[in-house]
Homo-oligomer: A and B are copies of this chain.
Amino acid sequence: MSQIFSYPHLREFTQEVFKRMGCSDEHAATASEVLLSADLRGIDSHGVARLIGYVRLWENGRVNATPNIRVVHETPSTAVVDGDRGLGLVVAPYAMEVAIAKAANVGSGWVSVKNSNHFGIAGQHAMMALDKDMIGMAMTNASPLVAPTFATERMLGTNPIAVAIPAKTQPAFVADFATTTAANGKLEILQRKSQEAPTGWIQDKEGHSSTNPHELKDGGALLPLGGDREHGSHKGYCLGAIVDIFSAVLSGANYGPWAPPFVSFLPLAPDPVGEGLGHFLGAMRVDAFRPADEFKEHMDKWITRFRNATPVAGEQVLIPGDPEREMESHRRQGGIPLLDPVVKDLREVGEKFKLSF
């Protein structure tokens, strides 16, 4: 069962929670905007459902509410940002602003981030570039849950990639996807409903294909996009590895199995190879390649042509970002449904900070 809450209500509550954790007004506003963007866009696993997780990380001393986020290394088109153990929800927007400023100066900007925490949905950060007529990119490493092709060991996170590309009269192209067959959030939904997972999503602890959504509790793993070798899982593994290296080896964060888990009850890996979690943010000015209007007119044409591609009977060809944009428009008006366990968690958070929810 679920209840519906308005966006302003959830936004205000979340912002107040971040303030009571000690965040500045500015950080609390940014963090709540980024977190809630997931709920608005229908990525329910990454929104307020995770607020209690961030609070617990803060309680365990893994999140610094008053971080000194700063550039520690740079060239005209690149930088490394040290997040000072801050919320990824504020560290990533800071880093994206650095990327955007560099793109404004020299055409493109690329920022690798260390010492951060989970940053919400990648797409939200990538989209910061759009109104500057820039292409935005965002990726992050994450809790190790994914076995590379031919491995039984969990070595990578679901390591998402987001790319946002502006158009002229059409809505922007916004791709945002985990580099696994299915995001962990989709598995959580099956767990709650006790439904079987499709083959190709998970394997058991010995590396056999499994449809048991609870397999991860018993040593199983999520599978890279592709599922198995015959269906290209080595490509999903490549993608997850590239995200890991760009986010964490370039910056000096923890990579691979050393990436810190999001849930506070799991211990950090011993002998860390870096600091915190890593992200990678990028921005390219479209007029660094061709006049912006010309580019955006062709993006309109690209989008229109693909949307009108001959569909399979009864289906419709979508442009990346279509479902999330429709969901946002729907939920801004009609509110955001939260499952009962999420409501319970938020009430618990409220009590902790003497806030009513």
Contacts and interface: CB of A to CB of B under 8 A. Distances in A.
Contact of A234 (B106, B177, B206, B302): B177
A283 to B, nearest CB: 11
A76 B77 contact: yes
A18 interface: no
Interface string A285-307: 11011100011001101100110
B232 A165 contact: no
A207 B311 CA distance: 8
A129 interface: no
B311 A150 contact: yes
Interface residues of A, number: 85
Contacts of A294: 252
Given A289-B80, A311-B150, A315-B150, A298 B177 contact: no
A225 B235 contact: yes
Given A150-B311, A302-B256, A234 B318 contact: yes
A112 B287 CA distance: 12
A204 to B, nearest CB: 11
A165 B110 contact: no
Given A225-B236, A231-B227, A286 B75 contact: no
Contacts of A316: 150
B76 A106 contact: yes
Interface in A147-178: 147-153, 155, 163, 165, 173, 175, 177-178
B251 A289 contact: yes
A238 B175 contact: yes
Given A147-B309, A177-B234, A255-B302, 4 more contacts: A75-B106, A78-B107, A151-B312, A152-B310
